[in-house]
Amino acid sequence: MPWFVLYTKSRSEKLVAKSLHQRGVEVYCPLRKVTRKWSDRTKIVEEPMFKSYCFVNLDENDRRVVYGAPGVVGYLYWLKKPAVVKQKEIDLIKDMLNDFDHESLEIHDFASADRLRILSGAFMGREGQVVFTHGKTILVKIESLSMYVSVDLSKNKVEKLKNNTLLS
């Protein structure tokens, strides 16, 4: 049976996973442990690795069983078909969560107007603004050089600036 990608309401991933599990559906919501700091305490909490997504292992004909569970929005589609994730990719996510320190795992989604710093390659140390994203390639405007640079995220390291302001 294939794994389908289920889109959930914001911050409802664990609720969806629990509800579907109680209905007998094989569901996987990858969780990573992160340290959260409040004014009065520090605590390790589990948060979803992929925000607003869960994976369900269902037969094609049983896909409608997920509707009615609180927090479910629908399926993620790719080329007008439900997105399918291979079992080996699910296993890879599970292995990664078991083998690596969760604090070192980060998921970055870059959007236009995000500020970032390039950490490797010819433009290492430069900061800029994301202008356009396409897959693993982002177009970055580097104000200090008055130029646009195409950055391949599979070959270069970048970090999103938290305060969204340039330091250059």
Closest CA to 126 of 116, 134, 114, 113: 116
Q: What pLDDT score does 112 carry? A: 79
Closest CA to 136 of 122, 154, 148: 154
Sequence-ordered list of residues with C-beta below 8 angstroms from that of 10, at least 6 positions apart, any chain = 51, 52
Mean pLDDT of the chain: 85
CATH number of 3-104: 3.30.70.940
* Segment 61-85 mean pLDDT: 92
Best-predicted range by mean pLDDT among 48-52, 110-114, 136-140, 143-147? Answer: 48-52
Alpha carbon 7 to its chain centroid, in Å, reads 12
Query: Has residue 2 got a pLDDT over 50?
Result: yes
Q: Which residue has the higher pLDDT, 42 or 103?
A: 42
Model pLDDT for residues 23-60, shown as the tens digit of each residue: 999 999 999 888 888 899 999 889 998 889 999 999 99
Query: Has residue 141 got a pLDDT over 50?
Result: yes
What DSSP assignment string belongs to 103-165? Answer: GG-------TT-EEEE-SSTTTT-EEEEEEEETTEEEEEEGGGTEEEEEETTTS-EEE-TT--
Q: Does this model's pTM top 0.75?
A: no
Q: What pLDDT score does 124 carry? A: 83
Handedness of CA 96, 98, 103, 108 (dihedral sign): positive
Is there a contact between 123 and 114 (Cβ–Cβ < 8 Å)? no
**What SS3 class is residue 23?**
coil
Q: Which residue has the higher pLDDT, 18 or 168?
A: 18
The Cα 116–Cα 118 span in angstroms is 7
Please give the structure tokens belonging to residue 5.
């990608």
Please give the structure tokens belonging to residue 77.
């589609």
